[in-house]
Structure 1
Amino acid sequence: MQHISRRQALIGLGALTFVVAGCADDEVPKKAADSANKAGAMASFGVNQQFKATEAVSFDVLYNNHPFYPLKNDWLFWQELTKRTNVTLKPVAVPLSDYEKKRGLLVGSGQAPLIIPKTYHPSEEAFVASGAILPVSDYLDLMPNFKDKVAKWKLEPELNTLRQSDGKFYLLPGIHESPWVDYSLAVRTDILDKHGLALPKTWEELYTVLKALKKEYPDLYPMTDRWGVPTPGGNLIKLVAQAYGAKGGWEYQHATWDAAAGKFAYTGAMPQYKQAIEYLHKLVDEKLLDPESFTQQDEQAKQKFNSGKSFVISTNAQTMINDYRPTLTKLVPDAKIVKIPVPMGPVGEYKIQTRLENGVMISKKALENKNFVAMMQFVDWLYYSDQGQEFAKWGVEGTTYTKDASGKFTLNKDIDFIGLNAGAPKHLQKDFGFSNGVFAYGGPTKLVQSTFSEEELEFQNVMNARQLWPVEPPHPFNDVEREQATLWETPLKDFVTQQTLKFILGERDLSEWDAYVKELEGKNMTAYVNLVNTAYERFKKEHG
């Protein structure tokens, strides 16, 4: 098996940077602050200043309705938000399972709410050419908190990855002071201890552990997995591909920067992507990984793990507390589980994670709303000010939490959240609407980690000791290129997804890899990569 070296992974990768408020934003014919639509806006609004509209205003917001904490109209979040800001949000609720599809239909038809959260880059690119969403980088003078954090945290390289061919970006991302990793694998440590097995630190060590467990439990699959719907192997393929220097699963993108070559390569045909597939195929072929992992519903996966029919499964901090421990400890009282640091592979001790999260799109029709300036100030306060982020995450001081002189948060004893007060009668998300994924993400490291258990902090300490994978250079398409790329992307991605699954499950032999690559070429892979590299060279030339 051919492995890439750390040197190959890093050579030649340079970030293209320019100041957020400069360059493309200076070309705006009329400054956003001069907008006529200032009804309800504050005359002066600065960093960490409480926003409060000068008159009662309301904005509709697309709401990703999570089944774990379904929408309630009487949440304290709504009431307190209006009390503090004079803004009433009107949620247009869409089930989490249907969110992306429904969002696309609403934006495409011009019927989307003014505020469109929970959008993952590059999903916004599909709406740029039609003019359905606002080039938000044109209006950053209305967002002092966003600009302040970008400058303090030196986020320009990451923001540049969002910019389109016009030099603007159309998504207000969630931003972190420090990169952090949430998703990894949960492992039954009681089972490992019983058989004298150490926690795996690499994917090869995981293979060894699974092989040993298979010998002890020949009738079981030592590992089963979740999050295979709608993206087969969403988390698992992502993590394994990262270890080899590729993109897969949830984070699959058609093009990956080849630092050694100084250009982009087609991800689904890269040797590193093949190596990730070979590893996963080995697990399935030797019956170490449940083949249903890539297609089963989450409930099936959880049932297998929680009943002791498997010992390893994908997790994040919340699913450990909400989905596994309560049920597992009832069914298997002596069970112990831990979220292990993401196993490493050939690229070494890297964490491949940016400091950007899913973000907010703004409907183009918002520009004509008389409260446009007030709305942008409000969005800036809620998503980017220290006070707004603290409110969205923790709630109301004295009612849901307390904070001491050192800044340490303590959740009220009668309220639970990710096991901080296990068994408490109330829940921060379900009963109050705080720590809601639509509104609470990103922020200063101290705030992000304020809800972490000691166990999670230990995980983060290990991950934070690793180097951050370099930011890829931007390669935005112009309108003509985007139209062409759109015609090629879906057939290419569908084919890569289908064949990846076939290779992993053994339905197609890996000896046919070269034939698969030729099939990709027949689906315009080479033309697509040429388009990407043309866009990269043009952007580098025009924007430095």
Structure 2
Amino acid sequence: MAHLSRRQLLAGAFGSAAAMALAACGGGDDDSGKSDDLSANRGGAMDKYGVGDQFKATEALSFPIMVLSSTTYPYKADWLFWSELTKRTNVTLQPTVIPASDYNQKRSVMVSGGDAPFIIPKTYHPDEEQYIAGGAILPVSDYIDLMPNFKDQVARWNMKPDLDTFKSSDGKYYLLPGLHEDVWLDYSLAVRTDVLEKLSLKTPSTWDDVADMLRAMKQLNPAEYPMSDRWSHNPPDAPAGNLLGIMSDAFGTHAGWDYQNHTWDAGAGKFVLTGSMDQYKQMVVFLNKLVSEKLLDPESFTQQDDQARQKFANGRSLVMSCNAQTLVNECRKDIAKIAGATVTKIPRPMGPMGATKQGVVRLENGVMISKKARESKNFVAMMQFVDWLWYSDAGKVFAKWGVEGTTYSGKIDDGSFKLSGDANWGGLNPSGAKNLQVDYGFFNGVFVYGGSTKLLNSQFPPEEQKFQEEMGKRKTLPVPPPAPLNADEREQSSLWASGIKDYVTQQTVKFILGQRPLTEWDNYVSELKAKNSQQYIDLVNKAYERAKKNG
């Protein structure tokens, strides 16, 4: 699914800069999901629907839904997914199809105008925050008693602290996120392993090792940059988004795709401005050194993906960002014409934080429910349907892998699962002539969110499973405490947040590329203060203290 996942489409009203600031306090008794009187809204609902039950409406129903049409697998009305879903659930979905490039904007217009379908998936926190004040979407936490699979996973996987970060100042959450059993990481670096062998180098385990590896690679072709990176235009305001993201994780801060304006400082017991942290500066200094030594291509922060891929394909560069899918579908295909060339995705390099990983990535993008849906006579059935498709084990396997005996065989739990017939995806069934996503409509990012570790691993070949096993050994850091902003504070923070983020991004690139000397770092910090960064941080910490007091 390339890069239409997790935080990389963050483009809400306030942007990822305010992602944690807009989260609300945990605790309280309001997350039990006890809903109001629904006696008039049970048309088509199952009388007995519990964990593990197959949902099937007691009468034929149809629900309007917003559907993102991916450039990788454009929407088709005749996908097997649609007909099989109706067969299993007695529900026919009525899609409002929107191209991926327009999805966020058109969703905003439709939701704000009260014209959105009942089911609004593919929403990234905190995008939902912009619709709360206008009452366009439901506080879904009021209705999770209708969703036994959702509640079961939250309890079994101890996800209440994670969900607390999605709560608004009223103690409710308005987005049903995808739930992951464990913290898992995908994106890292693709490295030409044949070159490592030629240089008698081991796989680098730290960023210092990466720098040494690049220096050795530089000797093979001094006229070229050994690393030239991609993903500076997805989203367009995150130059070298993956590189900065995985590096900031190693340095104990936030940058690139993972950027947010404030970071929790456990030692200080408060939030601090991300862009002025010592850890952030250390990361910038390190990258500046890579660029100044001509180890990292300066165009990594501006070039289109095709340019980066072409440099990798012709051997001009030897290292590039990747994920499990692009490793197989792009990197390996791109270098196929280079005799003896091999490439692998290395475990994320470690930095000053050691063998750790952030504890804030167990929640995926999710589903909003239009307030209009609450008045439907079929509301209860719709929530049962949403619970089955997005949160039941059977629903997840169906949405991801399709129909047993047609697109796959075996079981997830006993490890016998495999793609079969004509279905292929990610090289799991090379003889398959049809793409699971393009031709069948399964593994669609609109419907595939989260799941158990076993389900996650089912999509990976042995090589990727080894990567996941290695990353699983790393210590998961605690989820930062919530800092809920009330409506007035949210409006005020939005006036500051985007300007702070934009300036941090611009100056970060200038420092890295040497367009601004690092001796001006203190001046840069002062400039951030002139953009109300201190008032912003004070607002966040005020919200944090209030949340802590209210418990």
TM-score range, shorter chain: over 0.9
* CA–CA distance in structure 1, aligned partners of residues 110 and 352 of structure 2: 43
Is 1:440 paired with 2:454?
no
Taking a change above 3 Å as real, the CA distance of residues 35 and 539 of structure 1, as seen in their structure-2 partners, is farther
Q: Does 1:119 align with 2:123?
A: yes
1:55-454 matches, within 5 Å, as 55-229=59-233, 230=236, 231-329=238-336, 331-353=337-359, 354-403=361-410, 406=414, 408-454=416-462
SS in 1 for 2:349: coil
Please state how far the C-alpha of 1:441 moved relative to its aligned partner: 2.4
Q: Name the residue aligned to 2:19.
A: none
Amino acid at match of 1:346: P
The TM-score with structure 2 as length reference comes to 0.92
- Give the partner amino acid of 1:112: A
C-alpha distance in 1, partners of 2:37/2:278? 50
Q: 1:117 to 1:24 in 2, by over 3 A?
A: same
The letter for the 1-side match of 2:487 is D
Q: Which residue of 2 aligns with 1:495?
A: 503
Picking from 537, 541, 548, the partner of 1:533 is 541
Letter in 2 for 1:345: G
Task: Choose 272-281 or 393-402, whichever is displaced more.
Answer: 272-281
Quote the offset at 1:313 in angstroms: 0.8
Q: Distance in 2 between matches of 1:439 and 1:33?
A: 29
1:38 and 2:53 are equivalent in the alignment: no
Q: Are the aligned partners of 1:304 and 1:310 in contact in 2 as well (CA < 8 Å)? A: yes
Deviations 1:416-455 (A, max 9, x none): 1101122521111111111111111211111111121110
Check the 8 A contact 1:134/1:363 in 2, yes or no: yes
Counterparts of 2:459 and 2:529 in 1: how far apart (Å)? 48
Work out which of the residue numbers 462, 482, 507 in structure 1 matches 2:515: 507
Aligned to 1:117, what secondary structure does the other structure show? strand
Maintained 8 Å contact 1:33/1:373: no
Paired position in structure 2 for 1:9: none
| Secondary structure, aligned partner of 2:64 | strand
Residue type at the aligned position of 1:166: D
Shift in Å at residue 276 of structure 1? 1.3
CA 1:190–1:487 in structure 2 vs 1: closer, same or farther (change >3 Å)? same
8 Å Cα contact 1:35/1:373 also seen in 2: no
1:141 and 1:80 map into 2 onto residues whose CA distance is 27
- Deviation, 1:209, is 0.7
- What is the Cα deviation at residue 406 of structure 1? 3.0
* Residue matched to 2:6: none
Per the alignment, residue 481 of structure 2 pairs with: 473
Give yes or no for contact 1:75–1:432 (8 Å, CA) kept in 2: yes
Aligned counterparts, 1:5-20, within 5 A: 18=27
> How far, CA to CA, are the matches of 1:273 and 1:62 in structure 2?
38
The answer to whether the 8 Å contact 1:24/1:166 transfers is no
| 8 Å Cα contact 2:42/2:378 also seen in 1 | yes
The 3-state SS of whatever aligns with 2:503 is helix
Q: Distance in 1 between matches of 2:99 and 2:275?
A: 31
Instruction: Evaluate the alpha carbon distance shift between residue 35 and residue 515 of structure 1 in structure 2; reply closer, same or farther with a 3 A threshold.
Output: farther
* 2:309/2:334 contact within 8 Å kept: no
C-alpha distance in 1 between matches for 2:484 and 2:26: 14
CA deviation digits over 1:247-275, x for unaligned, max 9? 11111111110000001011111111111
Q: Output one character per residue of 1:260-318: Cα deviation in whole Å (capped at 9) or x when no partner.
A: 00010111111111111111121122211111112222222222212222111111111
Task: Please state how far the C-alpha of 1:174 moved relative to its aligned partner.
Answer: 0.6
Figure out how many residues of one structure are paired with residues of the other and give that number: 523
- Decide whether the 8 Å contact of 1:48 with 1:387 is kept in 2: yes
Q: CA–CA distance in 1 between the matches of 2:105 and 2:290? A: 33
